[in-house]
Amino acid sequence: MSRKPEKATAEEKKQRQRKKKTKQTLTRAVTHIRLIEANPGKLDALDHLMVVYLALTQEYVTLFCQVETSPDKFAVPIFETKLSDRWHRVAIQQAAGIAKSWRTNRQNAYEAYLEALADYAEARAKAEASGVPLDPKRKEPEWREWKIPELRVSSIQANTNVVVVEQSEDSTFDFWLRISTLDKGNPLRVPVKLASYHKQTIAGRTLNTSTTLHKRKGIWWLTLSFDEDVPLQTAKDSSKVGVDVGIVHFITTSTNKEYGSFHGKMARQHKRDREKRRRKAKLRACLEKKGVPSGQLPSTSSATGQRLGRFVRQEINRAVNEMILDHPNAWIIYEELNVASMRFKARAMNSYLYASNLAHIPEQIAWATAKRGMAAHTVKAAYSSQECPRCHFVDRANRPNQQTFCCGVCGYTEQADRKAAHTLADRWGDTELAACRDQKAVKALLLKRHENWKQKNGLVVVQPAVQLGLWDLSQTSTDVAER
């Protein structure tokens, strides 16, 4: 049915690039549109469809996560289903999207593991050679294989082949949704009524052809979307501002400013919440042993935890907006944040990372800058916290503690997060670094630059300060910002 789109010609690519410089296209979602059940049982057909659809999508997710080749949304259908060919394709496409992001995250985490393992082996060899025992707190990294994602939420990412939004002729409703069902040739027609704020948002817009349907607590919801072009406001010769993402401060800029923090009230609330959940889990286990039926056991899911997550995201939004208001005419350069690998490298801070929703920071930067037509770009973050900006020496010992960067070779010293922000800003336009395929390649490139620096400065091998025992290594194993 579907055909792979033809490859863009060089001319088309050029045109697209030229366009990119003058405007950015934002896709805005219109959420919380409730599907109205005009007569009872009308949406049953949708429920039946969902059961079959979810099972089929799960089959493809499992397949796409396990095979060698990368997930292909144009893959030839192979599973039996009651769904039409068109629905079958929609399921394959959705599964390919889910599998793709799962594979990327897993691969990043695995590479971070290999990196940590190499680091560990190096440190152990150093310790053996020097006779100074390795910090007992530092454990050999372990790899635990990731589970294949399980689809629990009833959600359909549909296109016009299966779900069509039609303008309503009479004034009672705004749209009709025509949904193909398991009963071929007998589509379901559901009226859609928009709230006034929905109407305001989409007035004069052309809606995208893709729609999302999902069911939560027995109610079906529709999400519509439209594209919006925002002209680029940032001048070409504007200054670059590097943005480092962290725990101590959500954001540190190369202009020496800090925004937002997970410490203080939020951290205390998080700790209380975690203890409460632990107590509940204990009680639950105890009651279970005594044979209390599972329906009567206390729930361990945490409403306060969800509230805290919302609060953290609000704080992040506020910090990002403040940062943007302070730098209205700048190019914002931030990192491709890899939460999976950060989580892996910083076991001790795991729950903090989870609670602080670090991944929300780059998302919010991307969104908030695009909305204002500001130029914002991501760069590779590998070793941005360990690399010396002067001589390019990379070593975890360049971070004797959370706050300090101090190069073990040339002695360059700066506040650690600000240094990382500088390094990120410098990496924009560094095509050699951008071309590196993985962390290993980045490290090799930085090592090469360090060697060049040494030759230029007429230096022979200098003993890094760490080997002379000048730094206390005990803190570096729980160093959150290691990337």
In the complex, the residues that contact Zn ion under the rule CB under 5 A are 388, 390-391, 393, 407, 409-410, 412
DSSP structural state of residue 264? T
Q: Which is nearer to Zn ion, 328 or 411 (CB)?
A: 411
Q: Which is nearer to Zn ion, 112 or 407 (CB)?
A: 407
Q: HSE-up of 432 (CA within 13 Å, CB side)?
A: 8
> How far is it, in rounded angstroms, from Cα 390 to Cα 405?
12
State the Rg of the chain over Cα: 26
- Least distance in Å: CB of 271 to Zn ion? 38
AA identity, residue 190: V
Residue at token pair 């969104």: 367
- Least distance in Å: CB of 289 to Zn ion? 59
- Least distance in Å: CB of 464 to Zn ion? 10
- Least distance in Å: CB of 407 to Zn ion? 3
> How far is it, in rounded angstroms, from Cα 81 to Cα 127?
60
- Least distance in Å: CB of 237 to Zn ion? 30
Q: Which is nearer to Zn ion, 158 or 407 (CB)?
A: 407
Q: State both tokens at 369.
A: 């800058």
Beta bridge partners of 126: none
Q: Which is nearer to Zn ion, 333 or 391 (CB)?
A: 391
* Cα three-residue angle 103-108-113, rounded to 5 degrees: 125
For strand 219-231 and strand 23-34, is the pairing parallel, antiparallel, or unpaired?
A: antiparallel
Helix crossing, 265-289 with 303-326: angle to 10°? 160
Q: Which is nearer to Zn ion, 60 or 393 (CB)?
A: 393
> How far is it, in rounded angstroms, from Cα 80 to Cα 31?
33
Q: Which is nearer to Zn ion, 330 or 433 (CB)?
A: 433
> How far is it, in rounded angstroms, from Cα 243 to Cα 423?
9
- HEC letters along 91-126: HHHHHHHHHHHHHHHHHHHHHHHHHHHHHHHHHHHH
> How far is it, in rounded angstroms, from Cα 367 to Cα 323?
13
- Least distance in Å: CB of 476 to Zn ion? 17
Q: Which is nearer to Zn ion, 410 or 433 (CB)?
A: 410
Q: Which is nearer to Zn ion, 158 or 410 (CB)?
A: 410
Q: State both tokens at 82.
A: 């009651």
- Least distance in Å: CB of 439 to Zn ion? 20
- Least distance in Å: CB of 257 to Zn ion? 25
